[in-house]
Chain A
Amino acid sequence: MRIHLTVNGTGRTWEVAPGDTLLDVLRREGFAGVKKGCGTGDCGACTVLLNGRAVNACLVLAVKAEGHTVVTIEGVAQGGRLHPVQEAFLEAGAVQCGYCTPGMVLSAVSLLSHNPDPSEAEICEAISGNLCRCTGYVKQIAAIERAAARMRESQ
């Protein structure tokens, strides 16, 4: 089957099998920042934005992305400049092995695009589907709070 979608701002037409997941297709097409973890929607390593909402790419059939917009971690930085969430993750040291980081960043980007001033509870809820087995969550939460404050200041 052929699907047409926009990935990181660029229109794409891909040939996919009817049962391919969006995760399979994105990785096959070179978007290796979309990590493959559990494959059952539990870990969030495969998080992408589908029409601006964070989803588990492992649970979305590629055909469901027909006509839609996908953003992967490769598309978050703009014009060579990191997204404020990415900058905050670096500054707060919210990264250890890095495997969960793309998903965590995208969940945070999705949260801040819908809720610019989230509470700590709302941040915890937003990243509740992204598991980190290295650092815990304290630094990620601090990073997202820092990014939110910076994004509010710049507006």
Chain B
Amino acid sequence: MAVHQIRSVVRPATLEEAWECRRSEPGASRFLAGGIDLVLYVPPTVSTLIDLSCLGIDAVRQEGSDVVMGAMATLTEVLESPLVGEFAGGFLRDVLRRVASPLQRNVATLGGAVVRAHPWSDVIPALLVLDAQLDVFDGRRSTVELSEVRARSESPSPLVLTVRLPGASCDGRGAFEKFARTGFDVGVLNCACFAIIERGLCRTARVAVGGTPSVARRLPRVEETLVGKPLSASQIALAAQTAAGVVDVRDDRRATAEYRRVLTAVGVRRCLENLAGLGSEVKE
């Protein structure tokens, strides 16, 4: 259905132009990436769209040991990229295959998924555990943590240029669990875990839970229980129990807080068991 309140679409050729358009009308303008969210949920005050198509921020490339994914790359382009397929055992590729339908993935952009950060987003927990960073522009370029940019409250929020997967995460493995009937459905809860295992011990462990129904967050207390330990059955059970204890869950129309707390334990356990199968043996 046409979005009748949109009065103009501008197509800036430079980052500076794009930022100036956005900054001059913070309430009435929005950046236009794939556009799905703007068609479905455009805020009533918005009348100008700033199309980012001409800014050349759609490539997926290697930069040193980092994989740098343009914000305007579609989810399909990201998941089909050989660089993403080889990073952390293809963890992000495998998560993106479970997001929405191919029809939507051919339009939705990585930058749009990051900026919109729906509470039920499957992309955000995956990027959080990969320790993703964002290259942003707000009059000047800078690199910020994904969690940091989401915590900012200024308006307008910076223009996301790229999502950067740090090379330090390349040798780890990730696992993802989503509690939904199909990938198309909004999940009741989702969970991502990532580990780098050396000599049978977790050198790095990251755990994120989303759809709680808030947007995904890392669970540092759970990660602390895993670092330096083997992914044994008892350690996994402890991590799952800790996750259920610390996760911040609420009721909504999809599930109760109590049910989400149980699902958190199940999701963390399944993810860690999956990782244990890949990186070390489950003992006990």
Contact = CB atoms under 8 A, between A and B. Distances in A.
Interface string A53-97: 111101111011010000000000000000000000000000000
Interface string B69-110: 000000010000000000000000000010011111011000
Interface in A2-24: 17-21, 24
B87 to A, nearest CB: 22
Interface in A31-61: 39-42, 44, 47, 50, 53-56, 58-61
B151 interface: no
Interface string B10-53: 01000000000000000000001011101110000000010101
A8 B2 CA distance: 23
A66 B100 CA distance: 25
A20 to B, nearest CB: 5
Given A19-B2, A58-B1, A125 B102 contact: yes
A58 B103 contact: no
Interface residues of A, number: 32
Given A59-B40, A61-B38, A63-B9, A41 B1 contact: no
A56 B2 contact: no
Contact of A129 (B3, B39, B40, B104): B104
28 contacts: A18-B6, A18-B9, A19-B3, A21-B2, A24-B2, A39-B1, A41-B103, A41-B104, A50-B107, A54-B102, A54-B106, A55-B107, A58-B39, A59-B40, A60-B39, A61-B3, A61-B35, A61-B38, A63-B49, A64-B34, A64-B51, A66-B11, A107-B103, A125-B102, A126-B102, A128-B183, A129-B102, A129-B184
B184 A128 contact: yes
A1 interface: yes
Contact of B103 (A18, A54, A66): A54
B155 interface: no
Interface of B: 1-9, 11, 32, 34-36, 38-40, 49, 51, 53, 76, 97, 100-104, 106-107, 182-184
A40 to B, nearest CB: 6
A21 B32 CA distance: 14
Contact of A21 (B1, B11, B101, B103): B1
Nearest to A23: B1
A40 B41 CA distance: 10
A107 B35 contact: no
A56 B5 contact: no
A18 B40 contact: no
A40 B4 contact: no
Given A21-B39, A59-B107, A61-B35, A107 B102 contact: yes
Contact of A55 (B2, B106, B184): B106
Contacts of B38: 61
A129 B238 CA distance: 39
Given A18-B6, A128-B183, A64 B1 contact: no
A145 B256 CA distance: 43
A63 B118 CA distance: 25
A63 B106 CA distance: 16
A55 B103 contact: yes
A107 B101 CA distance: 11
A60 B103 CA distance: 11
A129 B7 contact: no
A61 B32 contact: yes
Interface string A122-155: 0001101110000000000000000000000000
A19 B2 CA distance: 5
A138 B131 CA distance: 42
B8 A18 contact: yes
A42 B34 CA distance: 16
Nearest to A44: B103
Given A61-B9, A61-B49, 7 more contacts: A18-B9, A21-B2, A59-B36, A59-B40, A59-B107, A63-B9, A66-B53
Residue with the greatest number of chain B CB neighbours at <10 A, chosen from A47, A63, A66:
A63
Nearest to A67: B53
